[in-house]
Structure 1
Amino acid sequence: MTDSRQIQIAGLGSPHGDDQAGWEIVRALKTRDLSQAIVHLSRTPDDLLNWLDPASPLVICDACRGAGPVGSIHHWQWPTAELDQVNWSGTHQIALPGVLLLAEELGLLPAQVIIWGVEIAETVPGDVISSEVSAGVERAVESICREWDARRALGVDHA
């Protein structure tokens, strides 16, 4: 069983252009003081089902479309109907909300799930991440760290 102070962080994405946003957020977070974090890079949301620990809060970072201008960051707490209006990046077999519902049915979903999205334009194989999305990644990392620090200061043991 995982220590209750541990947090699971999942970066969803691919090596294609702006779809790298989730991975880049997680890579940047790994350079911070997140000793209690267990970090995973995944290509599809259904990969979450392979390692979820219902005893540890979950933070998901991914690229998304339809929630705002390119490079904008978004923050949701699961469950929320707002996610049904968002298109998630990549060619996922099952979209993120569907995977979270399935995880809940299987008894794998943690009580606290926080989702961070960075708005992207498109993903093109072989492209590098755009400057707008890269700036959004930086803002997301700073926002996540500020939230993390505020919760630690208040004595809250999770994301």
Structure 2
Amino acid sequence: MATPIRICGVGSPFGDDQIGWQAIEALERSKVLEVLPTGMVTTCLCDRPGPRLLEILKGAELGIIIDAMMSGATPGTLKCVQFDSLSVFESPYSTHGFDLASTLALGAALEELPPQLFIYGIEIEAPTVNSQNTVSNPALAAAIPELIKAIENTLKVFCQRFFLKKQKG
């Protein structure tokens, strides 16, 4: 996985927690990634933060993580969170025992995080599981177009800098 850009949706196949996965699927269906050179970007789904997420991000120049968040904002609110303020939005009650903030702190300590790392969070209510395994709050799905636009803008800025750097170096 030697691509300079890695975009990872963190979540699960259940309830509102799958919003990160659905966002990746929507991004792949959009035209945003088609304009990038072949081999420039890798997208993936990750079922929990932890060593696999660090493996995915290792060696990238730009990392983008999409995940559900619970900060008390209105469901469907989109936030771009910087690494140093991430713990504010993490639940102390991780079902996996190792949350995104802990994973990224470990990656930082090991010096394995990309030089540029953006964490996009879509606000959810308390995670629930429903029998259809679908996102239950329509406000979450409505946030995806805004998220794709934000990622598109992030990619434009990164690519301009990346290709300028390659021309100079």
TM-score using structure 2 length: 0.79
Distance 1:73 1:14 in 2: 19
Distance 2:60 2:156 in 1: 21
**Structure 2: runs of 5+ lacking an equivalent:** 164-169
Identity of aligned residues (%): 28
Distance 2:112 2:157 in 1: 27
Distance 2:150 2:86 in 1: 20
The 4+ residue runs of structure 1 with deviation greater than 6 A are: none
Q: Is the 8 A contact 2:6 2:60 kept in 1?
A: no
**Structure 1: runs of 5+ lacking an equivalent:** none
CA distance change for structure 1 residues 58 and 150 in 2, over 3 Å: closer, same or farther?
closer
Match of residue 37, structure 1, among 17, 41, 51? 41
Distance 1:21 1:76 in 2: 16
Pair 1:73 & 2:93 matched? no
Matches within 5 A, 1:71-110: 71-78=76-83, 80=84, 82-87=85-90, 91-110=95-114
Distance 1:59 1:90 in 2: 21
- 2:125 aligns with 121
Q: Is the 8 A contact 1:13 1:90 kept in 2?
A: no
1:53-103 deviations in Å (ceiling 9; x for gaps): 23421100000001521100000232x2x2121135962321111111111
Matches within 5 A, 1:140-159: 140-152=147-159, 155-157=160-162
Tell me by how many angstroms 1:145 deviates.
1.4
Larger radius of gyration: 2
User: What RMSD over aligned residues (CA atoms) do the two structures have, in Å?
Assistant: 2.3
CA distance change for structure 1 residues 151 and 109 in 2, over 3 Å: closer, same or farther?
closer
Tell me by how many angstroms 1:150 deviates.
4.6
Please state which structure has a larger fraction of its residues in helix.
Answer: 2
